[in-house]
Structure 1
Amino acid sequence: MKFKSWKISVIIGSLAVIGIGGAMAATNPSREAYKDYAAEKMSTYLKEEACSDVPEFLQGQCANLVDMGREPMKEIIDNSTERHNYVFFSIYETNLSIAEPLPSYHFQTIGIFNNLIIYETEEQ
């Protein structure tokens, strides 16, 4: 009797692990999702930080310029990112350097269950 309940527990546990693994693999965010996420984060940062440093009467134009530059931002991010796909999740490493006098940045982001989370940001 104990053997039978142990066997059922192993089968149920195995099915649960397979189910969770399958869900993780199916919801591993794509590179395109990462580009959209990173461009959104960068746009928000530029609007809040960079646009706040320009004179007040130009802040609206600054925000509009940031919005217009979102597609080129995606391309810059794509060219600066390496994806490590581990089937169940992905790690995105972005080394962003726009121009020489400006600082460069290193970001690491994990993609899991359709979510992207930046877990390391470093100015270089």
Structure 2
Amino acid sequence: MGNFKVGTWLSGGVLLAAAALLFVTNPDQSTYETYAVKRLSTYAKEELCHDLPGTIEQFLSESCESLIDENQQSVQDVIRQSTVTLNFGLFSLYRTRLAVPGVDVLPTYEVETLGIFNRFYTYRAEQQ
């Protein structure tokens, strides 16, 4: 019977330590914004800048990547305004809907990301 109590206490202690670790390493909104800006900027430079529709391509082809680099704060503001955060204490879910209001030629994206252990895992990214 004594071994059962020790095992129970030990298991409880391990679970409590794991929960504390998850709680302490749950990334916050500003950390997510930094992550999202970096990911979005990389995606935009590698994909969007090279696949712009007709007239926009003619207008932005030379300056697309530099425009992205020069507007990081604006990108972060858009991400902040278009993200819903569900903080569960041990981890967080971030849902971001990226769209440029009034510009129908650019696609809208919905992105869902898990924040856990000071890392982010984007598990869904869909073009609408």
TM-score for the superposition, normalised by structure 1: 0.89
Correspondences of 1:39-54 after superposition (within 5 Å): 39-53=37-51
Q: What is residue 11 of structure 2 aligned with on the other side?
A: 13
Q: What is residue 112 of structure 1 aligned with on the other side?
A: 116
Correspondences of 1:1-124 after superposition (within 5 Å): 3-53=1-51, 58=62, 61-98=63-100, 99-124=103-128
| Cα RMSD, aligned residues only | 1.6
How many percent identity over aligned positions?
32
Structure 2: which 5+ residue stretches go unaligned?
Answer: 52-56
* Pairwise CA distance, 1:64: 2.0
* Pairwise CA distance, 1:18: 0.4
Within 2, Cα distance between the matches of 1:62 and 1:104? Answer: 18
TM-score for the superposition, normalised by structure 2: 0.86
Structure 1 window deviating more from structure 2 (32-41 vs 99-108): it is 99-108
Within 1, Cα distance between the matches of 2:49 and 2:111? Answer: 22
More helix by share: 1
Structure 1: which 5+ residue stretches go unaligned?
Answer: none
AA at the equivalent of 1:43: S
